[in-house]
Structure 1
């Protein structure tokens, strides 16, 4: 079992995975002791002025992965649906990421038109990735809840079973927040269950009790950073107090973040 996989097998202590969108955000999180950090496809896409979930950010994603994989943390990369519908092309990407030191990937079955990919097609991607890069942790994501299906339970169970059979190391159901449904899925899964943290949903301690093995923050940190930047600018413009003293890192602290993985393109 790889060190990253081991973080998913600690009963009662799920992996809390914060998601970064650039080198500075990842390095700052690493300084706070997070052993593993993911990327957020929305943050990477928005920072580059590109749409999320449309396979438009392959270059930006790989470039960021090359930089972050040099860091002092284990890295999981959100590759959307693999940036291709061809399982062999997705496998080639997985090999490229594994060779630069990436520990895991998120591979989702949601499509740009807000529909779900065929189960067999997504399962084939999972199988191809595990055959080409067996040491890479594949977190197979289904967007059944995310897309708001009328009755997502049965379809979620069907898809998770197929992805586990295909070789997924973990399964991810963003949008799943009802405690009873989480507990049922966690009990059925033969691999670690990942959910997306929601401020309105169960706190991490409760998610641990329900059997969750990984809690992702997704785009939350990126969106919070955008909100803080805009609120600060508006406060200064309007003559109101800015951030509380000490709440914002100083220039030297941020400038020093380059020491962790700054080499390379």
Structure 2
């Protein structure tokens, strides 16, 4: 698949009325391969897992190197890759654009950029710089008005307007879970709206009915995996066999071999 066709395919997954893109977030080679084997056409990374894996804080621009390394690891996989790049790891739009070039060269088709409640104009400048540098990279512009702020509606809409005007291909409002507010955001935006799935919020089907076009899982799968490990240890120490799904050694080895074959095919094709 050419870079242009990958962008068009990924964009198309956001424009299926009533069928949002369910985007699971992987944290390493094996998790991405396992999700791809389950048929997910697109996979994202999660910044929390990248940071936690190396003992660094999330959301503080400390993991640029590790984010790029993971993107390079996953970029040749048999799926469309979107990279969670925090705020671009810089306040300089040109430096964020350079990051976008690196991710694009490594095989990513999308990037998620969060504003961290910085001035809307600053984040819009980053978005514009990325789209100017790599027009074929799908920019999902995230605002943290609900995630880290008080959910101010006027501020949210103002930010979404600025990000769309700057060229964002999609907008992301994590933390909003009220159906009426979600529906209002859908009506307001001209590009696909992305929300973060929450077990305590609307179901996937309900989000589809509301007009959401992309549903991210964020760090949920990673946190569930950690929880499953703790549950398994507790079961074993209590004399019980661990419950839940446990891929065999051979299953995981087969996943790695399948990705290696895909990489080899891409390098020769």
Structure 2 residue matching 1:2: 3-state secondary structure: helix
Partner of 1:187: 187
Structure 1: gaps spanning 5 or more residues: 111-115
* Secondary structure of residue in 1 paired with 2:81: strand
CA-to-aligned-CA distance 1:107-145 (integer Å, 9 cap, x gap)? 0001xxxxx111110000000000000000000000000
Give RMSD over aligned pairs.
Answer: 1.3
- Give 1:172's aligned residue: 172
CA contact (8 A) 1:70 1:260 kept: no
Structure 2: stretches of 5+ with no match in the other structure: 1-6, 265-269
Q: What residue number does 2:128 align with?
A: 127
Is residue 157 of structure 2 the alignment partner of residue 157 of structure 1?
A: yes
Aligned to 1:255: 253
Cα contact 1:196–1:216 (8 A) shared by 2: yes
The residue aligned with 1:144 is 145
Aligned to 1:118: 119
Report the TM-score, using the length of structure 1 for normalisation: 0.94
Contact 1:18/1:37, CA 8 A, preserved across alignment: yes
Q: Distance in 2 between matches of 1:248 and 1:261?
A: 20
CA displacement at 1:241 relative to structure 2: 3.0
Q: How many residues are paired up?
A: 256
Give the helix-richer structure, 1 or 2. Answer: 2
Match of 1:187, SS state, is helix
Deviations 1:183-223 (A, max 9, x none): 00101100000000001111111111111000000000000
Deviations 1:14-66 (A, max 9, x none): 00000000000000000000000000000111111111001111111111111
Give the CA deviation at 1:260: 4.1
